[in-house]
Chain A
Amino acid sequence: GENVEQHPSTLSVQEGDSAVIKCTYSDSASNYFPWYKQELGKRPQLIIDIRSNVGEKKDQRIAVTLNKTAKHFSLHITETQPEDSAVYFCAASRGTGFQKLVFGTGTRLLVSP
């Protein structure tokens, strides 16, 4: 089955810096890659997703890149702000009719003012 690895497990940056979180997946048939942000005590919330027919997607300060050949995808956050502090999860699924999302182990991002 699918296995998703995520690095780093913790990431500390200064406000205004960029943050990059990387994930690798094992199932070459996976074609949907969402990223979720989970604030302390809250629900996971989708912040961006990418499908296997594109290599990059951007939404304001957030971007995701996908390398299907290497089977890895990354989340890039520019101009980080303290409110970006949270746990970020990557996930992968085949998306064939129904989704079986396999999540990475999470990255705790801390943005210091």
Chain B
Amino acid sequence: DTAVSQTPKYLVTQMGNDKSIKCEQNLGHDTMYWYKQDSKKFLKIMFSYNNKELIINETVPNRFSPKSPDKAHLNLHINSLELGDSAVYFCASSPFRSANQPQHFGDGTRLSIL
């Protein structure tokens, strides 16, 4: 009955590889987000999709490409992984039509680049 679920929970890989993280929400929300939390615990938004349409794209390297096949799923693909990509990546979702509604976070994916 997990509301926002991410897979995998842990991802350890070599520099230069390509990897994907998947996110699914069963809350019926229209908007989904990807956040990056670095080693200092700073949480920063990367992308947001509303009903499969990209609405927020912060200054993220174009090695990161989000994909939303439907409004319940938002995946993150990362090409040519670098050491600085090591972080915890959180997916979140919220309703769209009702502004100022809480965002619900997934459990996070801890990405470690060797």
- CB <8 Å contact, A43 and B55: no
Known contacts A44-B90, A51-B100; is-contact A89 B107 (Cβ 8 Å): no
Q: Which of B31, B102, B108 contacts A34 (CB 8 A)?
A: B102
B34 close to A (CB within 8 Å): no
Bound complex: CA A106 to CA B104 (Å):
18
- Of the candidates B44, B56, B94, B105, the one whose C-beta lies within 8 Å of that of A45 is B105
- Taking residues whose C-beta sits less than 8 angstroms from the other chain, chain A's interface range is 20 to 34
Interface residues of A in 28-68 (CB under 8 A from B): 31-32, 34, 36, 38, 42-46, 49, 51
- The residue in A51, A95, A98 that gathers the most chain B C-beta atoms within 10 A of its C-beta is A98
Chain A neighbourhood of B43, CB < 8 A: 44, 89, 103, 106
B48 within 8 A of A: yes
Nearest chain A CB to B14 CB, angstrom units: 24
Q: Report if A11 contacts B (CB, 8 A).
A: no
Q: Are A99 and B42 in contact (CB under 8 A)?
A: no
Q: Report chain A residues within 8 Å CB of B101.
A: 99
List 4 extra interface pairs beyond A93-B100, A97-B99, A101-B45, CB under 8 A.
Answer: A43-B108, A46-B102, A95-B100, A106-B43
